[in-house]
Amino acid sequence: MFKKIVGATILTAALFMNPLISEAKKDFIMEGPVYMKVNIHYQNNGKDSKASYANYTNPGAGHKIVTVNTPVQIKSWKRKGFIIVNTETNEEIYFEYSEERMQMTAEEYLNKITSPAKVDLSKLSEKDLKGIKEGVASAGMTKDGVMMALGYPATHRTPSLESNTWVYWSNRFKTIAVTFDDKGIVTAIQ
């Protein structure tokens, strides 16, 4: 019995002292996979892929989307945020994140944009499904549909989801405003 306890203790200590094992475990925030609850718009410049909490819905050449229900893993990125790893393609997307501007921790934000289970899309309208697939907002979509299509709105421009106008960044220099009626249906996009 004593030998088993000592052996288990030595093995446990070796695992925690092994830099390759401990670094690998630290590397993942969400080893998952987890599933995207919203589309993530990003730009691939041929060398790397980058996205932002500002949800650049049209960042220019190389614009791509990680779609709702894509399985992903989340790795730490010590510089500016985290890395979304698309487990279907193994592509890594460097996701710039600002806790100050988003007024929530990265963990809180990740819980808003990812889920341990796929999102049920069966109750969404055809307009919502089309917008999500194309990564755009259009008249007649619901707030849920817009959120899934364009991503979680940056709180420094949209402080409350109860607001009838959500502001998204089209790119680093231009914004779009999605306006909803009192029932949460898109009436205008400017």
pLDDT of 27 > 90? The answer is no
Q: Residue 67's closest CA among 153, 148, 143, 124?
A: 148
- Considering the domain architecture, whether residues 130 and 182 belong to the same structural domain is answered as yes
- Of 80, 115, 150, at which residue does a domain stop? 115
Q: What's the rounded Cα separation, in Å, for the pair 65 and 6?
A: 51
Cβ count near 143 (within 10 Å): 19
Phi, psi for 112 (deg, rounded to 5): -80, -30
Q: Do 36 and 68 meet the contact criterion of CB atoms below 8 Å apart?
A: yes
Q: Does 134 map to a domain? A: yes
> Within its chain, how far is the Cα of 128 from the centroid?
19
- Considering the domain architecture, whether residues 131 and 110 belong to the same structural domain is answered as no
Q: Does 106 map to a domain? A: yes
- Considering the domain architecture, whether residues 130 and 160 belong to the same structural domain is answered as yes
**Of all residues in the chain, what percent are helix, strand and coil, respectively (each to 5)?**
30, 30, 40
Cβ count near 62 (within 10 Å): 13
Q: What's the rounded Cα separation, in Å, for the pair 138 and 188?
A: 8
Q: Does 2 map to a domain? A: no
- Considering the domain architecture, whether residues 111 and 143 belong to the same structural domain is answered as no
- CA distances (Å), 133 to each of 3, 56, 67, 92, 139, in order? 59, 16, 7, 21, 15
Q: Do 133 and 116 meet the contact criterion of CB atoms below 8 Å apart?
A: no
**Confidence band of 10 (pLDDT split at 50, 70, 90):** very low
- What is the pLDDT at residue 123? 96
- What proportion of the chain, given as a percentage, has pLDDT over 90? 78
- Considering the domain architecture, whether residues 135 and 68 belong to the same structural domain is answered as no
- Considering the domain architecture, whether residues 110 and 137 belong to the same structural domain is answered as no
Q: Does 48 map to a domain? A: yes
pTM attached to this predicted model? 0.83
- Considering the domain architecture, whether residues 57 and 82 belong to the same structural domain is answered as yes
- Of 87, 115, 143, at which residue does a domain stop? 115
Q: Does 18 map to a domain? A: no
**Beta-bridge partners for 115:** 35
Cβ count near 39 (within 10 Å): 25
Q: What's the rounded Cα separation, in Å, for the pair 91 and 40?
A: 13
Q: Does 8 map to a domain? A: no
- Considering the domain architecture, whether residues 74 and 133 belong to the same structural domain is answered as no
Question: How many structural domains compose the chain?
Answer: 2
- What is the pLDDT at residue 23? 41
- Considering the domain architecture, whether residues 50 and 110 belong to the same structural domain is answered as yes
- Considering the domain architecture, whether residues 100 and 38 belong to the same structural domain is answered as yes
Q: Do 85 and 91 meet the contact criterion of CB atoms below 8 Å apart?
A: yes
- Considering the domain architecture, whether residues 40 and 104 belong to the same structural domain is answered as yes
**Confidence band of 42 (pLDDT split at 50, 70, 90):** very high
- Considering the domain architecture, whether residues 58 and 107 belong to the same structural domain is answered as yes
Q: Does 42 map to a domain? A: yes
Residue-range definition of the domain harbouring residue 77: 27-115
pLDDT of 152 > 90? The answer is yes
- Of 67, 94, 115, at which residue does a domain stop? 115
Q: What's the rounded Cα separation, in Å, for the pair 45 and 79?
A: 19
Q: What's the rounded Cα separation, in Å, for the pair 146 and 25?
A: 35
